[in-house]
Amino acid sequence: MSSMEHYSYNRRKWVNRVMLGLCAGSAGISIMVLLFILGYILFHGISFLNLSLITNTAKPMGETGGGMRDEIIGTLILVALATAIGLPTGLMAGIFLSEFGGTKMASAIRFIADVLTGLPSIVVGVFAYAILVRPLHSFSALAGGVALSIIMIPIIARTSEESLRLVPNSLREAALALGISRWRTVLSVVIPGARTGIITGGLLATARIAGETAPLLFTSLGNYFGFQGVLKPISALPLSIYHKATSPYSVDKEQAWAASLLLILMVLIISIFVRWLASRGRAR
Partner 1 sequence: MVVLNKPGIYNVGNNIINLKSKPVIITEQKGGFSVKSLNAWYGHFLAIKDITLDIPPKAITSLIGPSGCGKSTFIRCLNRMHEVTHGARVEGQVLLDGEDIYNKAADPVAIRSRVAMVFQKPNPFPAMSIFDNVAAGPKLRSFRSDRHELEEIVEQSLRQAALWDEVKDKLRQSGVSISGGQQQRLCIARALAVKPEVILMDEPCSALDPVATLKIEDLMQQLAQQYTIVIVTHNMQQAARVSDKAAFFLMGEDKAGSLVEYGDTNQLFTNPKDRRTEDYITGRFG
Q: Which is nearer to partner 1, 186 or 262 (CB)?
A: 186
Interface region with partner 1, contact rule CB under 8 A, candidates 9-17, 133-141, 190-198, 246-254: 190-198
Candidate residues 49, 126, 176, 265; the one interacting with partner 1 per rule CB under 8 A: 176
Q: Which amino acid is at 90?
A: G
Q: By rule CB under 8 A, what string of x and - marks binding of each residue 94-123 to partner 1?
A: --------x---------------------
The answer to whether 282 contacts partner 1 (rule: CB under 8 A) is no
The answer to whether 278 contacts partner 1 (rule: CB under 8 A) is no
C-alpha span between 225 and 37 (Å, rounded): 32
Closest alpha carbon to 62 in 255, 261, 262, 235: 255
Q: Which is nearer to partner 1, 46 or 108 (CB)?
A: 108
Candidate residues 8, 26, 55, 188; the one interacting with partner 1 per rule CB under 8 A: 188
The answer to whether 248 contacts partner 1 (rule: CB under 8 A) is no
The answer to whether 76 contacts partner 1 (rule: CB under 8 A) is no
C-alpha span between 140 and 227 (Å, rounded): 11
C-alpha span between 152 and 88 (Å, rounded): 11
Candidate residues 16, 30, 181, 228; the one interacting with partner 1 per rule CB under 8 A: 181
Cβ at position 158, least distance to partner 1 in Å: 21
C-alpha span between 227 and 223 (Å, rounded): 8
Closest alpha carbon to 140 in 132, 148, 130: 132
CA Rg, the chain, in Å? Answer: 24
C-alpha span between 24 and 113 (Å, rounded): 33
Is the CB of residue 71 less than 8 Å from the CB of residue 239? yes
The answer to whether 170 contacts partner 1 (rule: CB under 8 A) is yes
Strands (E), 33-122: none
3-state secondary structure of 53: helix
Candidate residues 1, 4, 51, 177; the one interacting with partner 1 per rule CB under 8 A: 177
The answer to whether 50 contacts partner 1 (rule: CB under 8 A) is no
The answer to whether 179 contacts partner 1 (rule: CB under 8 A) is yes
Give contact residues for partner 1 (rule: CB under 8 A): 102, 168, 170-181, 184-185, 188-189, 192-193, 195, 284
